[in-house]
């Protein structure tokens, strides 16, 4: 695994009195999708939030493109090329879809070619372009959340459970958009509970338990080994 | 690429009249209060005088409150020291006007307006710079700690008030308005002070300008988005800290402007005037909804109008009219009329 885009070494993160990340070692290869898997409450979301800088690592180090970003503030990490789609989508509900997208293009005006691509991936965003984002359905909000990350060229996307609670048709749209991002050469670190999506998109995988990475390897290897899944996550992924 | 999401056109439901009125109710409250005033007061001339006076007072309170509501909305900071900027603004502005007596004492519109503009600019520069220092020294160490914010900003307020005593002396300063702003115009039998009319127009222009900045510019978008979800704004690459400092400085400068206007309105200034105004300012911020400039605007007009009407109709009740208004609004909408910030 040469030239990784992101490396976490022995990262510890506390939230108030809770010691959540207890020495995370994670390598995200350049290009492709890395799945971050594990049961609820093992620290997947905290890992993503530590990478974007919403939580500061208490110890350990984070390197992005070879540069140490451990103490870098969140806006600088974003400007360095990390896009973040949080679990709660982080939509600005009082702003219109258009205003949400304008904000997402932090370095300048929206690029028409990129917008065309986004509208092809998520047609409802065009339909509701001037509507308040708070009035969108859950699926449409998730589309907007991912579209916002796609509004500018990013090198690494951190995406937290993009298919949670969505209808199968919308999940298929999400998976299509992520596949398209991957095809354009982006690196994606994806937290996902939907096994079909994880298996279809993942190139590599890392499984967390109790605030640590307990297994890392090829997604195909994990997907094809029910015993391994049982051992790492307490149940077979087919059971999802 | 898969595009399985339904690409349907939105279908709009027909809202009932009650639903539509409910949404617009905060906006309707101001005209409703004006109509209530008209019906209660009886005399058209008295009503007109009181209405203009109430609107002028409301506009000045809005100018003082607008910065505070954004500061609270953006960074969850409760700044009791905001009143100090009002007092300092008034003292700097009025000192400038006193120094320019040769411009204010002659009946020349150009010279009078120039003197007021010079006073306003001086006040806003000083209070803006003071706000910058206040944020760095007093507010920054206590982010995220509300109790400490209250204690330390009240302390800052007291220190600045005492510094005013040191610089300008402990006595109140009386002043007279520039010649062209003295007196009243008569309209429909009502005497309306020129200065109050000017305050209404000025406040309205400022509100429209502020709305335009917030709605039409990228910095406005960042501020509005930051009030809702600051973390996400940072994750998009914007340095919210810098935006916050900018808003804090602008809010302090506006408080200074409000102080000059209030001083000219009352024709007397004291070191404690900002502290006294803070009660009304907080009522406006709370009933407007934390973080909402539009809410603060409507709230300020309601406070100004109600205080004037009640003082005329039942002077003894004037003291509690605004507290009663706040109680009523919070019973109706516990998060204020137009809340932007979610309860934290």
In this prediction, residue B343 carries a pLDDT of 46
How far does CA A44 lie from the centroid of its chain? 10
Tell me which of B309 and B11 has the higher pLDDT.
Answer: B309
Instruction: Give percent of chain B above pLDDT 70.
Output: 95
In this prediction, residue A235 carries a pLDDT of 62
Say yes or no for a CB contact (<8 Å) between A78 and B237: yes
Task: Kindly report the pTM of this predicted structure.
Answer: 0.85
Distant-in-sequence, close-in-space partners of B205: CB < 8 Å, separation ≥ 6: none
Tokens standing for residue A173: 């749209």
Q: Is residue B109 packed enough to be buried (19+ CB in 10 Å), middle (13-18) or exposed (0-12)?
A: exposed
Write out the residue range of the structural domain in which residue A92 sits: 4-239
> What is the nearest CA distance from B149 to chain A, expressed in angstroms?
20
Length reported for chain B: 344
> What is the nearest CA distance from A52 to chain B, expressed in angstroms?
7
3-state secondary structure at position B269: strand
Architecture of domain B45-332: Orthogonal Bundle (1.10)
- Residue A36: phi and psi, rounded to 5, are -110, 110
Partners of B233 on chain A (C-beta within 8 Å) are: 103
Q: How many domains would you assign to chain A?
A: 1
Q: Kind and range of the H or E element at A126?
A: helix A123-127
In this prediction, residue A232 carries a pLDDT of 80
Q: Is residue B301 packed enough to be buried (19+ CB in 10 Å), middle (13-18) or exposed (0-12)?
A: buried
CA distances, B20 to each of A92, B32, B152 (Å): 23, 16, 44
Task: Enumerate the domain spans of chain B.
Answer: 45-332
Q: What is the pLDDT of residues B61-108, one digit of tens each?
A: 999 998 898 888 877 888 999 999 999 999 999 999 999 999 988 888
Select from B293, B281, B336 the least CA-distant residue to B60.
B281
Say yes or no for a CB contact (<8 Å) between B235 and A52: yes
Say yes or no for a CB contact (<8 Å) between B5 and A124: yes
Select from A15, A33, A22, A18 the least CA-distant residue to A191.
A33
Select from A128, A49, A122, A133 the least CA-distant residue to A87.
A49
Q: Is the CB of A176 inside 8 Å of chain B's CB atoms?
A: yes
Per-residue pLDDT of chain A (240 residues; tens, 9 = 90+): 458 999 999 999 999 889 999 999 999 999 999 999 988 889 999 999 999 999 999 999 999 999 999 999 999 999 999 999 999 999 999 899 999 999 999 988 999 999 999 999 899 999 999 999 999 988 899 999 999 999 998 999 999 998 888 888 888 888 888 888 888 889 999 998 887 888 889 999 999 999 999 999 999 998 888 888 888 877 655 555
Looking up residue A191, the CATH number of its domain turns out to be 3.40.50.300
CA distances, A182 to each of A125, A175, A179, B163 (Å): 21, 10, 5, 62
């Amino acid at each position: 695994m040469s030239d990784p885009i992101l490396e976490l070494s022995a990262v510890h993160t506390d939230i108030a009195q809770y010691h959540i990340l207890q020495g995370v070692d994670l390598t995200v290869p350049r290009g492709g999708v890395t799945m971050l898997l594990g049961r609820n409450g093992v620290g997947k979301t905290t890992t993503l939030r530590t990478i974007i800088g919403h939580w500061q690592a208490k110890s350990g180090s984070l390197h992005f493109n070879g540069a140490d970003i451990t103490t870098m503030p969140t806006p600088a990490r974003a400007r360095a090329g990390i896009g973040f789609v949080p679990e709660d989508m982080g939509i600005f509900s009082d702003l219109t879809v258009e205003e949400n997208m304008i904000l997402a293009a932090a370095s300048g005006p929206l690029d028409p070619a990129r917008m065309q691509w986004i509208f092809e991936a998520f047609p409802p965003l065009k339909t509701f372009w001037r509507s308040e984002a708070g009035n969108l359905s859950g699926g449409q909000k998730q589309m907007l959340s991912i579209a916002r990350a796609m509004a500018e060229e990013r090198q690494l996307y951190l995406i937290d459970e993009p298919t949670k609670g969505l209808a199968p048709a919308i999940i298929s749209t999400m998976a299509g958009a992520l596949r398209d991002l991957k095809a354009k050469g982006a690196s994606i670190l994806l937290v996902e509970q939907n096994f079909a999506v994880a298996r279809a998109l993942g190139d590599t995988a890392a499984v967390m338990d109790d605030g640590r990475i307990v297994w890392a390897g090829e997604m195909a290897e994990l997907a094809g080994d029910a015993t391994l899944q049982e051992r790492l996550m307490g149940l077979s992924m087919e059971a999802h | 690429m898969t595009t399985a999401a339904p690409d349907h056109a939105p279908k709009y439901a027909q809202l009932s009249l009650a639903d539509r009125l409910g949404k617009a109710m905060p906006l309707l409250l101001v005209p409703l209060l004006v109509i209530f005033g008209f019906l209660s007061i009886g005399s058209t001339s008295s009503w007109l005088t009181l209405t203009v006076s109430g609107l002028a007072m409301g506009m000045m309170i809005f100018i003082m409150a607008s910065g505070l509501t954004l500061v609270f909305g953006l960074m969850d900071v409760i700044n009791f020291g905001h009143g100090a900027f009002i007092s300092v603004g008034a003292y700097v502005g009025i000192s400038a006007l006193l120094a320019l007596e040769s411009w204010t004492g002659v009946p020349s519109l150009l010279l009078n307006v120039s003197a007021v503009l010079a006073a306003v600019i001086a006040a806003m520069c000083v209070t803006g710079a003071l706000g910058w220092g206040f944020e760095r020294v007093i507010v920054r160490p206590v982010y995220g700690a509300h109790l400490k914010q209250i204690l330390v900003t009240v302390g800052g307020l007291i220190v600045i008030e005492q510094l005013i005593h040191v610089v300008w002396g402990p006595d109140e300063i009386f002043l007279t308005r520039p010649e062209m702003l003295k007196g009243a115009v008569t309209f429909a039998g009502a005497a309306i002070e020129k200065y109050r009319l000017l305050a209404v127009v000025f406040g309205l222009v400022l509100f429209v300008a502020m709305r335009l900045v917030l709605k039409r510019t990228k910095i406005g978008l960042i501020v509005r988005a930051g009030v809702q979800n600051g973390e996400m704004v940072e994750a998009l690459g914007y340095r919210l800290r810098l935006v916050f400092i900018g808003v804090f400085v602008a809010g302090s400068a506006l408080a200074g402007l409000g102080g000059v206007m209030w001083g000219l309105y009352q024709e007397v200034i004291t070191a404690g005037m900002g502290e006294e105004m803070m009660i009304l300012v907080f009522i406006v911020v709370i009933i407007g909804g934390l973080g909402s400039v539009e809410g603060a605007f409507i709230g300020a007009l309601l406070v100004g109008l109600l205080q004037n009407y009640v003082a005329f109709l039942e002077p003894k009740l004037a003291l509690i009219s605004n507290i009663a208004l706040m109680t009523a609004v919070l019973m109706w909408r516990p998060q204020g009329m137009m809340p932007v910030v979610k309860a934290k």
